[in-house]
Amino acid sequence: MPFSAAESKLVSIFVQSILYGLYAALFVLTTNALLWKRPAGYPLRTDMLVISLLMFVIATTHVATNFSRIILAFVIHANAPGGPAAFFNQLSNFTQMFGSTLYVAQTLLGDAMVLYRCYLVWERRVWVVAFPGVLLLGSTATGVGILYAFDRVDPQASIFVVQLGHWITAFFSMTFSTNVICTSLVAYRIWAINRTHLSFRHRALRPAMILIVESGALYSATLLALLVLYNADSWFQYVILDAVSPIVGIVFSAIMLRIATGMSTIEGGTALALVEPGTEVGGIALSRVSSRGTPKYSSKA
């Protein structure tokens, strides 16, 4: 039996809460690493700290908004005509609009981070990220279009109505494409640099590659599932939709944590390489630093 809107929202808040708990723990570790656990000589990355904090604030506000919608639907409007399902279909409701705005903001922030990391790893070559950049602009435009359509659509219409379908499908498609392209470019660039310039132990290279590829794959797989479920008119899309916000935070907190602890650099260098200090890799000068007695490498401008 297919999920109803009300059942999907109950499952979604459960899944989102679990993922948010994992994200909150990872956020604490990342913040601690950025502020106090940096390797010797590693500067404070204020930009990463601000982005990490912004992602966490958005994810926290999003889960709080979804909890408020659950209370409104199943307590306040439980006996209203149509019950909780009718409440969830009120697309112009303030909590719906606010929650959707947070989702769009978190998704665009995640995509911007993917794009920026790709730009840095490819030595700030604008032509490499030109097409993904256009896709990000398109995602921004369609995200605004979704919010505008929510306010203009028939109050009794469902989320799958045609007036919304084109905007939502375009948004999901562009964010998915941006993430897949940038993640693939980052993974290829790091693999190419490591193969050409560095000598790696098999077991040392593998964790870095797995992190880059699988972290991107997790986000991409989530977006793909969301796109498929929405176009299949499945209410289960709410479960995936609400999971995106903490997943974005988890993926990028994991990357930030590695960078903050000197295990990787934002430009694509990795501390797992067996390389002599002073070696330049893709324009990045590496030097040996120590954290808890373990040899690591950091990048110097």
Instruction: Of 143, 205, 208, give the one whose Cα is nearest residue 178.
Output: 143
201 vs 218, which has greater pLDDT? Answer: 218
Give the residue from 9, 183, 166 showing the smallest Cα distance to 110: 183
| Residue-wise burial string across 158-167, b where 16 or more C-beta atoms lie within 10 A, e elsewhere | ebeeeebeeb
- 110-153 pLDDT, tens digit per residue, is 999 889 888 988 888 999 999 999 999 999 999 999 988 887 87
Report the alpha-carbon distance of residue 218 to residue 230 in Å, rounded. 18
Identify the residue whose tokens are 């000589």.
41
Polymer length of the chain: 301
Alpha-carbon dihedral angle through residues 244, 248, 249, 254, given to the nearest 10 degrees: 130
246: tokens are 């903490």
Residues 6+ apart with CB under 8 A from 136: 108, 111, 112, 115, 174, 178
Question: Which two tokens mark 191?
Answer: 């693999």
pTM: 0.81
Quote the tokens at residue 186: 């980052």
Q: Which is more confident, 288 or 134?
A: 134
Q: How far apart are CA 182 and CA 213, in angstroms?
A: 11
State which of 8-12, 55-59, 90-94, 290-294 shows the largest mean pLDDT.
55-59
Q: Is 268 left (phi over 0), alpha (psi -120 to 50) or beta?
A: left
Per-residue pLDDT at 172: 92
Residue linked to tokens 């794009």: 115
Note the pLDDT tens digit of each residue in 43-71: 777 888 899 999 999 999 999 999 999 99
Q: Give CA separation, 80 vs 68, 75, 86, 94, 285, in Å.
A: 17, 10, 8, 18, 65
Q: Are 161 and 93 in contact (CB under 8 A)?
A: no
CB 220 within 8 A of CB 179: yes
Per-residue pLDDT of 177-190, as tens digits, reads: 999 998 888 878 77
The three-class DSSP label of residue 3 is coil
Average predicted confidence (pLDDT) for the chain = 79
Of 8-17, 43-52, 152-161, give the range with the top mean pLDDT: 8-17
